[in-house]
Amino acid sequence: MEQLPPDTPRIGVDEWVASVEGKRERYTGLRGAVAQRWERLPPAARVLVFAAPAAVFPFLTSQGNVFRYGLFTLVYALLALGLNIVVGFAGLLDLGYVAFFGTGAYLYAILASPQFGNHWQAEAAIPVVVIATAVVGLLVGLPSRRLLGDYLAILTLFFGQAFVVFVNNANRINFPFFGHVDLTGGSNGIANLDPFNFFGYKVDSTTKQYYLLLIAVALVLILLMFVNESRTGRAWRALREDPLAAEVMSIPVNRLKLLAFVFGAAVAGLTGAIYGTIATAALPGDYDVGLLITIYAIMILGGFGSIMGIVVGAVIVSSVPELLRSSANARPLFYGAILIAILVKLRPWRLLAAELGGLVAFGFAVHGIASAAYPRLVDGESIGSGVFARILDHWMLFPKDPVKIADVAYILMVAAIVVYPQLKPLWRAVLLPPLLYLVMFVWENLLLVHIGGATRLILLGALLVALMNVRPQGLFGTATVEIV
């Protein structure tokens, strides 16, 4: 019998028992104290813990940073909270969620822009948008009653794609009575959306938009916490864990599914309207699959069903890529992460010291050999400035024309990483320095160059795989148990 890792859910144990045992077993010391305190706080206080630093944020930094870090983080958090209702609470795999987001934005654009000459005030427009999007959610959810998990995913994916294509082409529709109506501006989208106008008070600066978003997030958070503890929330959790058993227990499964869709769509609609005013336009390209993956990443990272986890996940997923934009920030993160990983994994400190020493020596050796025999391999320069970069110049290979070599090295690196865990421990110890050197070579010469684009997503993909291996329930999720 192979040894199962300790985190593996055990067959035959249900969620409540698992979580209680887990709490008793694992939370000791400082972590235990914090966890217990957290459990005791009422929902409103929990929200305050997050809202307070967020409220102070605009005073600590420039408008550009508020926009970049603050606004987008809150938008993603809202979307993830809404998606959490559908996926995390009710267990329905919704792959077309971003279409509701887009629906909200476009509906608001129809109501408050020069497109049709409507200029509704926010207190009228927002409820209309939210309710209308909820209705759309209801319609999309209707077929969900007959479909099991994977098939529902396809249906919702279809809806998501249909939305994008529709919105891209809806400027050429000929309605029977109204004639030619340019509903969505086609691929040009609808521009010049009015900022929110609450009884004359205009939300037209970044700071005001930020606070509006913060209020919206706080409201949704509190609402969700309520629902979580309520009967509906418990019913959703039962539905998520085992639909068949829930139905047998006379839980109205179909109605709950529809309710989840409606709620999720409503939140997305609200977020869409807000985002529309931030972007001042509703453009078709903004509501496609890429955004969906980002939101899912937030939920996965934070843990399905865990509300606080989602907020934390949103902060991480939104801010970290921004921080990584410059090589000055990215380097310490990368090397720091490697260092921490080694420190944690290599137990006897002698082995750790040997590996680190070996790595340094290996680097100098390779660099020395290269300088002597193949000078073209060291003619280039490391990116960025600073002491660390200069040290790297003498330790790491920087070919003059790195593109081809780095490409090949990248493929070799991936292959090496896949093969490495299969090796015997002795080989693993010996080959660790060269492997690390290869990884750093690829980082310096290839990944750092594209740090603004492809690298972020590569790291995201690798993170997802690693996360599932280490902690499938995400940072704050509860370990679920499958009864086989």
**Pattern 272-291, binding to another protein, x per CB under 8 A?**
------xxxx-x-xxxxxxx
Contact between 310 and another protein by CB under 8 A: the answer reads no
Nearer to another protein, 229 or 381 (CB): 229
Q: Contact with another protein (CB under 8 A): which of 128, 131, 135, 147?
A: 147
Contact between 68 and another protein by CB under 8 A: the answer reads yes
331-360: contacts with another protein (CB under 8 A): none
Report the nearest approach of another protein to the CB of residue 290 (Å): 2
198-227: contacts with another protein (CB under 8 A): 205-208, 211-212, 214-215, 218-219, 222, 226
Of 62-70, 128-136, 265-273, 343-351, the window that binds another protein (rule: CB under 8 A) is 62-70
**Pattern 242-261, binding to another protein, x per CB under 8 A?**
--xx----------------
Strand-pairing partners, residue 203, are: 196
Nearer to another protein, 32 or 461 (CB): 461
Selection from 439, 445, 359 nearest residue 401 by Cα: 445
Of 26-34, 231-239, 356-364, 466-474, the window that binds another protein (rule: CB under 8 A) is 466-474
Report the nearest approach of another protein to the CB of residue 416 (Å): 11
For tokens 């049709």, the residue is 116
Q: Contact with another protein (CB under 8 A): which of 34, 48, 328, 412?
A: 48
Report the nearest approach of another protein to the CB of residue 378 (Å): 23
Contact between 472 and another protein by CB under 8 A: the answer reads yes
Q: Contact with another protein (CB under 8 A): which of 19, 121, 168, 329?
A: 168
Contact between 186 and another protein by CB under 8 A: the answer reads yes
Report the nearest approach of another protein to the CB of residue 411 (Å): 7
Report the nearest approach of another protein to the CB of residue 322 (Å): 8
Report the nearest approach of another protein to the CB of residue 169 (Å): 6
Selection from 243, 379, 299, 327 nearest residue 76 by Cα: 299
377-396: contacts with another protein (CB under 8 A): none
Strand-pairing partners, residue 281, are: 191
Report the nearest approach of another protein to the CB of residue 4 (Å): 7
Report the nearest approach of another protein to the CB of residue 293 (Å): 7
Of 25-33, 41-49, 356-364, 368-376, the window that binds another protein (rule: CB under 8 A) is 41-49
Tell me how many residues contact another protein (CB under 8 A): 104
Nearer to another protein, 33 or 123 (CB): 123
Q: Contact with another protein (CB under 8 A): which of 28, 36, 118, 187?
A: 187
Handedness of CA 80, 85, 91, 96 (dihedral sign): negative
Our measurement of the distance from residue 194's CA atom to the centroid of its chain's CA atoms, rounded to an integer in Å, reads 29
Nearer to another protein, 343 or 468 (CB): 468
Q: Contact with another protein (CB under 8 A): which of 49, 148, 337, 369?
A: 148
What's the per-residue H, E or C state across the chain?
CCCCCCCCCCCCCCHHHHHHHHHHHHCCHHHHHHHHHHHHCCHHHHHHHHHHHHHHHHHHCCHHHHHHHHHHHHHHHHHHHHHHHHHHHCCCCCCCHHHHHHHHHHHHHHHECCCCCCECCHHHHHHHHHHHHHHHHHHHHHHHHCCCHHHHHHHHHHHHHHHHHHHHHHHHEEECCCEEECCCCHHHCEECCCCEEECCEEECCHHHHHHHHHHHHHHHHHHHHHHHHCHHHHHHHHHHHCHHHHHHCCCCHHHHHHHHHHHHHHHHHHHHHHHHHHHCEECHHHCCHHHHHHHHHHHHHHCCCCHHHHHHHHHHHHHHHHHCCCHHHHHHHHHHHHHHHHHHHCCCHHHHHHHHHHHHHHHHHHHHHHHHHCHHHHCCCCCCCCHHHHHHHHHCCCCCCHHHHHHHHHHHHHHHHHHHHHCCHHHHHHHHHHHHHHHHHHHHHHHCCCCCCHHHHHHHHHHHHHHHHHCCCCCCCCCCCCCC
424-453: contacts with another protein (CB under 8 A): 446-447, 450, 452-453
Nearer to another protein, 7 or 360 (CB): 7
Contact between 143 and another protein by CB under 8 A: the answer reads yes
